[in-house]
Amino acid sequence: KAGLTPQQKKMYNTIVKFIEANRYSPSYEELKQLLGYKSKSPIHGFIHQLKRRKWIASQKGASRSIIIL
């Protein structure tokens, strides 16, 4: 995807593949494990950046609500 950093692209692709395989969006904990992070803080940051760039959206207050735009 154009306009994304390599880390953002990796996060985006991980979310897309997870949704395709499972038919629901991943939790932050699952993303942390899939991407090899030790905390969820970077996951929050990447999700926020992808939302701001309009690559994904989510329903406020709902878990597993990431939507690919």
User: How much is the pTM?
Assistant: 0.90
| 16 Cβ contact list (under 8 Å, min separation 6) | 68
> In whole angstroms, how large is the CA radius of gyration of the chain?
11
pLDDT digits (tens, 9 = 90+) for 9-52: 999 999 999 999 999 999 999 999 999 999 999 999 999 999 99
